[in-house]
A and B are shown apart, each in its own frame.
Chain A
């Protein structure tokens, strides 16, 4: 009985905060409500077929891929560079490392406010500089700039996380292997490309999946606070669309169907990742 009692709190949490709502979403994805929410009708897979025939949904998918790809690439490249510097013997290394980990502790909405203060078309410090340079800056009406802003803000938050993993990955590369490469005459970019990066590959792959999942599913707060998916639908990723369709427009059936699609996508990505990690561990 004791083991059951010990895991019970966790089981209850999982049930009430994950299984139950997720089950409701799955059920709701097979139903359709009238505009007043009075009658609910079972429609089978109709919500799903409608979804994939809807050009707006397909567009949002494309937008999500562009957004997530950009966030992943920016967040990982910046983190890798920082980690490569932090891995060296430099003065004040510990302070440098600590500072780099901070952004991870900032809540999405707060980080969005920080970015708003920097980039706001009227009051932002950064946009002031841009205006002085003669660049028209208003992400609230320019779609490309809007995308740029949400990508930057989302990537910035993820850099800390990536940095920690890259640094750990770099430090797990045996020093003597790097030294052997130095004795063989490999320097700079060449040593990085032929020795360091290949040995960092498991970390890189892990981060690739984590970042993609993060940017696709965990950036809602940042986007909502910065652009609310706009201007128009310029920054409306799948996650934002779920919110708009379900919470704002109260189209619960379609919104639930979208959630289920996202859930399946996450499960698929996680399976790929754990397969890969298991295979690596088996070696």
Chain B
């Protein structure tokens, strides 16, 4: 059964439409990651579900009940905030107990649940401390604990890792995933970080300017991006997107410089000359005897791999990811043999499949 259903949810601030009709359905225990560039409306979507903002129209059905117009107190949803939002004047224990006290649980029950949750998160020794005496990672744990201890119907995460340093972020990411699986609570997770999106989500929702552009598993989004925006957004370094025209009865693309790329997986619709965009990920460009000549402008060594950024003869930028360390290259010829190609319509940006 769907735990959370969102139907045609819209939100406008004055004349600005921030969300232009979102439809979603989350299965019980599922973790859905909402990803998009800043200003795409992802935080607004989360705040609507939380009840911190009121939708302009649409329904938010949680466990069979439309909660779209209810106060957050009546929704039974917990949220982890980007800046943790701990109560600065309360101890860690009181921070976690606060929501339980409001629900009128007995003192023993509160003590037991807080202790359990603290154990789960390794906060046992910190219960008496105030938030200002904690490190960033510890505060993040307390914020998680405060959400978990309530055993809510739905978890909301609003970029919870973006205030942590890189190393801590990786370990907390794994921990969030572990806890979420273990507790089996349905979750919405908002991030602009595509690595978080790829690793955490059962499914991804990519938002672009208030419109959902793709809802699929992370691998599907990566392998078959629905449009040019998703293609450029997911994957690092981002996919090369080259202007081209359909050619040879829809079985090949002609790039700007005249270079011909055949499609291995079949014919695309449309007549020859239709303007298209050909996408190829940097890691799928390999050096070869035949192919595109690229003048290298910049070499970015990442340790286990190297990213080359260069220009083709048509002056278009192209990035290439090569395994291992590479140095001292001024030009390179890469094969573009028609594998791992993504083809999009140049006008609508939508994916064109054979």
Contacts and interface: CB of A to CB of B under 8 A. Distances in A.
Our verdict on whether A and B bind, yes or no, reads yes
Interface of A: 174, 176-177, 179-187, 190, 194-195, 198-199, 201, 283
Interface residues of B, number: 24
A182 B72 contact: yes
Contact of B50 (A183, A194, A195, A199): A183
Contact of A182 (B73, B103, B146, B150): B73
Interface string B67-79: 0000111000111
Interface string B48-78: 0011100000000000000000011100011
Interface in B92-131: 98-99, 102-103
Contact of B81 (A180, A186, A198, A199): A180
Contacts of B77: 183
A199 to B, nearest CB: 6
A186 B98 contact: yes
27 contacts: A174-B83, A174-B85, A176-B82, A176-B83, A177-B85, A177-B86, A179-B50, A179-B52, A179-B79, A179-B85, A180-B79, A180-B81, A180-B85, A180-B87, A181-B98, A182-B51, A182-B72, A183-B50, A183-B51, A183-B52, A183-B99, A184-B78, A184-B150, A185-B73, A185-B103, A186-B73, A194-B98
Given A180-B86, A182-B73, A183-B72, 15 more contacts: A174-B85, A176-B81, A176-B82, A176-B83, A179-B50, A183-B50, A184-B78, A184-B98, A184-B99, A185-B73, A185-B102, A185-B103, A186-B102, A199-B88, A283-B132
A183 B87 contact: no
Given A176-B81, A194-B98, A184 B89 contact: no
Interface in B124-183: 132, 146, 150
Contacts of A176: 81-83, 85
Interface string B39-55: 00000000000111000
B88 A187 contact: no
A183 B50 CA distance: 7
Contacts of A198: 89
A181 B52 contact: no
A242 to B, nearest CB: 41
A105 to B, nearest CB: 34
B45 to A, nearest CB: 15
Q: Do most interface residues of chain A lie in helix, strand or loop, or is the interface mixed?
A: helix
A252 B36 CA distance: 78
A16 to B, nearest CB: 47
Contacts of A174: 83, 85
A182 B81 CA distance: 12
A110 to B, nearest CB: 41
B146 A184 contact: yes
Contacts of A283: 132
A187 B71 contact: yes
Instruction: Give the interface centre of A174, A182, A183, A195 by most chain B CB atoms within 10 Å.
Output: A183
Contacts of B72: 182-183, 185
A187 B85 contact: no
Contacts of A179: 50, 52, 79, 81, 85
A106 B174 CA distance: 62
A208 to B, nearest CB: 18
B189 to A, nearest CB: 16
Contacts of A186: 73, 98, 102
Instruction: Give the interface centre of B71, B73, B83, B89 by most chain A CB atoms within 10 Å.
Output: B73
Given A183-B79, A184-B150, A177 B87 contact: yes
Nearest to A186: B102
Contacts of A181: 87, 98
A199 B86 CA distance: 12
Nearest to A178: B85
Contacts of B98: 181, 184, 186, 194
A195 B87 contact: yes
Contact of B73 (A177, A187, A194, A199): A187
Contacts of A183: 50-52, 72, 77-79, 99
A176 B71 CA distance: 16
A194 B94 CA distance: 11
Interface string B228-244: 00000000000000000
A225 B79 CA distance: 57
Contact of B52 (A182, A185, A201): A182
B200 to A, nearest CB: 21
A196 to B, nearest CB: 11
Contacts of A199: 88-89
